[in-house]
Amino acid sequence: MANITAAMVKELREKTGAGMMDCKSALNEVEGDIEAAVDWLRKKGLSKAAKKSGRIAAEGLVALAISGHKGVAVEVNSETDFVARNDDFQKLALNVAGVTLASTTTDVEALKNAAYPGGGVVADAIANAIATIGENMTLRRAAEVSVTAGVIGSYIHNSVGDGLGKIGVLVALESTGDAGALAETARKIAMHVAAASPIALDSTSVDPAVVEREKNVLRDKNAGKPANVLDKIVESGMKTYFKEVCLIDQPFIHDPAKTIAQVVAEAAKAAGAPVALKGFVRYALGEGIEKQESDFAAEVAAAAGGQA
């Protein structure tokens, strides 16, 4: 039997986009001949991944996983919504969430090299799914929230299964109080986050670049006013802006007469101990991805050689 080196496996992966274990098997089958291994993978339908890697994947699923005081969210993308209903793709998304939950990092590149259930690494599992299902897929992003004591609340919008959907939210409530009393509050705040789309926990957490941009908009709208008046307008306008985009200041969707801060204060009374809203994650599928617009009629005409 030929001596199959890591360099040979790497070369074959780069040529075909197939998974590491598949490449190793192919090389073993053909006594280490790279070109023969390419043909072997093609015959097995496992070299499709590289051809599909340039396609935009903006559909797919958000998956959540929670254990104890830690919760993670991952976004695994596919090209079409149809694939998101595929059992194998759903299993892939849940497994990637499980790998992330067990990991000490949410760095995507590191996660791709993390061990995947059943063998290989996450990148191999994604490549195998591409070859099997026939669409480009990517692990786009991952995030976590955690508490030393308290609860992690979650909510999935447009759910297609337990922990899977189009919008996934995690909310972390830090407290030594009654976890049972906190659980429902955490879930309702997670529902609020899904609906209200806050961009930060509080005003100090908003990206400074975003703050400066909003201030410039207010200055431009009120150009020509005296400097002291303009400063007050900007200050007032930013207070309004923070109430709109900061979770702690937003009116609670379940009871708009209260802010989220007031809801948390009420939760502390019910739990019998102080409660801190430590953090949240909101992942909306395909958020920020530029989707290619296609002219279906033109595509059909092109496929038919331009004939009507």
For residues 95 and 217, membership in a common domain is answered with: no
Q: Using the structure block, give the residue that is written with the tokens 């849940």.
A: 94
Judge whether 301 lies within some domain. no
For residues 18 and 115, membership in a common domain is answered with: no
**Domain boundary at 188, 217, 244, which?**
244
For residues 199 and 88, membership in a common domain is answered with: no
CA distances from 235 to 165, 279, 289 (A): 39, 26, 33
Low-confidence spans in the chain with pLDDT less than 50: 50, 52-54, 293-296, 299-308
Query: Quick one: pLDDT at residue 175?
Result: 97
Show the domain range for 223.
Answer: 207-244
Distance CA 102, CA 88 (A): 21
Query: Quick one: pLDDT at residue 55?
Result: 54
Distance CA 189, CA 212 (A): 28
Judge whether 169 lies within some domain. yes
Query: Quick one: pLDDT at residue 65?
Result: 98
**Domain boundary at 106, 130, 146, which?**
146
For residues 19 and 141, membership in a common domain is answered with: no
Judge whether 218 lies within some domain. yes
Cα atoms in the Cβ-side hemisphere of radius 13 Å centred on 164: 23
Q: What is the pLDDT of residues 56-84, one digit of tens each?
A: 557 899 999 999 999 999 999 998 888 88
Angle at 97 between CA 94 and CA 102, to 5 degrees: 130
Please give the share of the chain, as a percent, with pLDDT higher than 90: 63
Q: How many domains is the chain built from?
A: 4
Cα atoms in the Cβ-side hemisphere of radius 13 Å centred on 286: 15
For residues 64 and 162, membership in a common domain is answered with: no
Judge whether 43 lies within some domain. yes
Query: Quick one: pLDDT at residue 54?
Result: 47
Query: Quick one: pLDDT at residue 45?
Result: 64
For residues 22 and 124, membership in a common domain is answered with: no
For residues 79 and 139, membership in a common domain is answered with: yes
Judge whether 256 lies within some domain. yes
Judge whether 280 lies within some domain. yes
For residues 135 and 238, membership in a common domain is answered with: no
CATH number for the domain that contains residue 134: 3.30.479.20
Distance CA 54, CA 65 (A): 29
Query: Quick one: pLDDT at residue 307?
Result: 41
For residues 128 and 170, membership in a common domain is answered with: no
Judge whether 272 lies within some domain. yes
For residues 180 and 278, membership in a common domain is answered with: yes
Strands 138-146 and 70-78: antiparallel
For residues 124 and 76, membership in a common domain is answered with: yes
Query: Quick one: pLDDT at residue 206?
Result: 94
Quote the tokens at residue 129.
Answer: 């799914």
Judge whether 306 lies within some domain. no
- For residues 149 and 177, the answer to whether their CB atoms sit within 8 Å is no
pTM given for the model: 0.75
Strands 150-157 and 251-252: unpaired
Query: Quick one: pLDDT at residue 294?
Result: 45
- For residues 86 and 133, the answer to whether their CB atoms sit within 8 Å is yes
CATH number for the domain that contains residue 15: 1.10.8.10
- For residues 112 and 139, the answer to whether their CB atoms sit within 8 Å is yes
For residues 20 and 86, membership in a common domain is answered with: no
